[in-house]
Copies of this chain bind each other. A is one copy, B any other.
């Protein structure tokens, strides 16, 4: 007999390699509609503005957390470290980009135009020169970004730092920005906040919905605080895994916002995202008298889905509220309401998925369909 000492072996190797061990977790969401589902954070800071990490750290963190792309968007106007660091607005991207390349993480050049409200803070991403945005007038900064073909979006529009009551307010300046073609998206969610009023604006004004971390400190000081916590990020449905394809998807509004436990977006994206995440049992469910039968559903995605049943079935007791746990198979009880049933039946139970929002405060309606055979 030999006790199981291979555990030991592992640990030895861990001792050996730990300093070098670098591990990436996957974020599981299905590809849909022929697009790749890329995970992107378009709003991050470094020591080159008011952040607290060297730019390479942002690429390393993104790789480890399972992202595909991130934008470095240091403030143009707010530079509290400038006594120590004054080598220019493009340096943070120049430093982070090669590390991203080595890791196969797309690092996008951006900057945060940081102005009083209105118009507030806007990110411009896919720039070729951030420096050119360092101008006095905000309109000139927007123009400099637009001239480079940048994608421009409003950051944290309901932030209490600029909106006393925490509700986003739309100003004439925002109309002006839209008219000039400088307004492409808004952060429906930023950090730990979600702005339902902005969610509605995006639907009405055809603006791209975004969700970003706005991370300043090392990521573990702000996010990843407990099992299952994640930074807010944007799912981008792109033709391929490239910077150009992400940009094209953003301008085409092919995004879903992922913040906390919520996925927010248009039905055309949320519906296939939900459906392709599930594995339903093969074959019919056999119901014998009033015995319990079990329905097993597997959710292959990253996110628990919270389902609320909209209507009861005539002949069958079906599960009411359901949580489909991320990465797990969940068991639900089904049974005939009466004995003596016979034959077959196709059942469609209609649910609202409360944390997949197609409109502010409104979950998407979905149905779970399966066959019943009474025995």
Q: Which of B10, B81, B166, B321 contacts A355 (CB under 8 A)?
A: B10
Q: Which of A84-92, A112-120, A125-133 contacts B (4 or more CB under 8 A)?
A: A84-92
**B1 and A7 contact, CB distance less than 8 A:** no
A149 contacts chain B at the CB level, 8 A cutoff: no
Interface residue A292 (Cβ < 8 Å from any Cβ of B)? yes
Mark out the residues of chain A between 1 and 27 whose CB falls within 8 Å of any chain B CB in the assembled complex: 1-26
B6 contacts A328, CB within 8 Å? no
Known: A13-B306, A22-B331, A225-B18. A4 touches B259 (CB 8 A): yes
Asked if B60 and A54 sit within 8 Å, CB to CB, the answer is no
Write out the residue numbers on chain B whose beta carbons fall within 8 Å of the beta carbon of A167: 1
State the CA gap A300–B238 with chains docked (Å): 25
- Rounded to whole Å, the gap between the CB of A99 and the closest CB of chain B is 10
User: Which residues 75-128 of A have a CB within 8 angstroms of B?
Assistant: 81, 83-85, 87, 91, 102-104
Q: Which of A213-221, A246-254, A337-345 touches B?
A: A213-221
Does A11 contact B7, Cβ atoms closer than 8 Å? yes
Chain B CB within 8 A of A276 CB: no
Chain B residues with CB under 8 Å of A189's CB are 4
Check if A261 sits within 8 Å of B6, measured CB to CB.
yes
Q: Which of B193, B222, B296 is in CB contact (< 8 Å) with A104?
A: B296
Is A364 located at the chain interface by the 8 A CB criterion?
A: no
Given A260-B15, A293-B102, A323-B21, A3:B330 Cβ within 8 A: no
Q: Given A2-B195, A102-B294, A160-B1, verify A323-B10 contact (CB < 8 Å).
A: yes
Residue in B24, B166, B195, B260 whose beta carbon sits within 8 Å of that of A328 in the complex: B24
Q: Does A347 contact B (CB under 8 A)?
A: no
How many chain A residues have a CB neighbour from B under 8 Å? 93
Residues from chain B with a CB closer than 8 A to the CB of A225 are 18, 21
Q: Which of A286-308 touch B at CB < 8 Å?
A: 292-294, 296, 298, 304, 306
For this chain, the copies found in one complex come to 4
- A243 located at the interface, meaning its Cβ lies under 8 Å from any Cβ of chain B in the complex: no
Decide if B1 touches A158 in the complex (CB within 8 Å): yes
Return A197 CB to nearest CB of chain B, in Å: 8
**Among candidates B3, B103, B325, residue contacting A193 with C-beta atoms closer than 8 Å:** B3
A322 / chain B contacts, CB cutoff of 8 Å: 17
B192 A3 Cβ-Cβ under 8 A: yes
A21-36 contacts to B (CB < 8 Å) = 21-26
CB-CB contacts below 8 Å: A351-365 with B = 354-355
Between A and B, 13 residue pairs with Cβ closer than 8 Å are A1-B167, A3-B12, A3-B192, A10-B261, A10-B304, A10-B323, A15-B260, A18-B192, A24-B296, A26-B327, A47-B47, A57-B218, A84-B85
Lowest 10 A-B CB distances belong to which pairs?
A: A1-B158, A218-B218, A1-B166, A4-B260, A220-B220, A52-B54, A24-B329, A7-B11, A22-B331, A3-B15
